[in-house]
Structure 1
Amino acid sequence: MILFVARRLGVSAVTLVGISVALFALTRAIPGDPVSMYFDPLNFAGDREAAMAALRQELGLDQPLPVQYLAWAGQVLQGNLGYSITSGRSVGELIAGRLGATAYLMLAGTALSLLIGITGGIVAALRKNTATDYLILLFSLILISVPSFFVAMVCIYVFGLRLGVLPTAGINTPGGGWGDAFRHLVLPAGILGLAGAVGYVRWARSSMLDVLDQDYLITARSKGLSRPRVVLRHGLRNALIPLVTVVAMSIPGLFGGAVIIEQLFAWPGTGRMAVDAIANRDYPVLMGFVLLTAVLVLVCNLVADLTYGLIDPRIRL
């Protein structure tokens, strides 16, 4: 197991280097000049071009891309993600200050999507070709067909503007307490959870249908074991193996989807920070966010590989 983990970490490290090179080049290809926003041509008195050239030299933006990348990578290896071009603050501090809000939203959304998706898929499989099965599949089809940002705007209008029962902006009200924080979480986490649950429903249903026809489940039932025990202890455990891959790969997708949700609900997380960085051509902040996303993808893949062995002992062998 230790050798396997070490090998996977080595592959992940090489992959991360390749991702960072590609993303560094792509961020530099974004149209616009981050330096020009500092010098308004209408209000700047002096030689604007000379001032811009001096700032580019100070920031290292006048160097060739390979030199810029090596300088950035050297700082990253020392734990320094650089400094924001617009605010001058450390990128690490900016991400750390907003990561808690994103993690809070992500954990709530992921827990809700797993609860709804896996439960709905199991119920649909156990009620195959019944009205319950068709209703669950119809509901998941509707959700997957409607963009999450549209659902968010409808919920903001209905629950926030018309009914006024739920807040639609921010993470809490100053001095509001736990109840107020929960009310702020309901809409963004609910929409994020429903968007993620759609895929889990279909995968859980398909996996459970494959498992329910296996001989060992029929044998367990013939020995007198109750149906809930057979389904939950023997069937669900084997049905979870393909679901592990789906869950592991969907968590980074939820992280990306949280960018839209955070923007719509004014949630003070890393998603809003990334949108602001794109608008301001703030390369260091944008690279820090993308690097965080890449690390999350690689970690989720590693956790999925390790989880396979925990669920099914045959994989460990």
Structure 2
Amino acid sequence: MKTAKRKITAEDLLRFQFLSSPQISPDGGRIVFVKKRAHGVGKYKTDLWLVDVDSEGSEAPLTNVESDSMPRWSPGGTRIGFVRAGKDKDPQIHLIDPDGGEARQLTRFPEGAIRDFAWAPDGRTLAVVYRETIPQLTREARKAREKDGASTPPLIVETPFYREDGDGYFGEARFALYLVDTTTGEHRRIFQAPLGIDGFSWSPDAKELAVVANLDRRAALHPWKSSIYRVDVRNGRTVEVKGLPEGPKANVDWSPDGKLLAYAGRLGQDEMYSPDNAHLWVVDPRGGRPRNLTRNTDHCLMATCISDAGDPAFGA
């Protein structure tokens, strides 16, 4: 018997569930994803759920707190890393066994934001894109001003890049790339740039990271001067991939055999947000002339990767 159709109501918004960030396990048998739904007045709850690929939609909760997101499988599939935050709690990376149990906090970053992270292929290290909050914008500073009845001090900036929609004010702070030991949780910064990080990828042997960034002194005014850099994870030694044309770049990804880097980009003195399409390029990590794989298409490239079959793929 069919259910009669009706118009949507305001109350229906409380029943909506939003699914995002699906991540397939290394063996292809399970998917972890984020479920977001209304939770109390003016709040949402986001937690992690698991579903077996062969279960025809039988899902089960993996976590049950207010704000879990960004799940990432370990290479062996025995752990899932994710970001947990909450009221008056700094976002930190936690680890959990996909077969059940309590999550364990791994990182101890100061107050700040985590934009992305990825497991090293050997599972020993995480690469984390993290930005520390400047002192005057921290919760502690705000509470001290409220206690003393002080006003918010002016935010002094020296570049045009000091806030973003959906992010708010961050001043001179920038996202940098950190390495985190997956056993101890200890972290160290390995790469930073004037405007932050525009993409990163582990090499298959876990010895290097490819990073997209703009190291120009006036990077905010010259977005087309971005490039790709190879960073040695042992000592932080950084080498630019030579031969790349001038133009904005993003979303670098290493091929499974380590012989190619794929990235999204375009030519000329432009920025990534432009009416012109970004294209999919591949280049030898040692440098050389890159190849535009989508030159003769009208696809708007939004993300890049190289599959385990060796075929470049993109979302448009």
Task: Report the TM range for the smaller structure's normalisation.
Answer: under 0.3
Structure with more of its chain in helix, by fraction:
1
- The structure with higher relative contact order (CA 8 Å, sep 6+) is 1
TM-score (norm 1): 0.21
TM-score (norm 2): 0.21
Rg (Cα) greater in structure = 1
Structure with more of its chain in strand, by fraction:
2
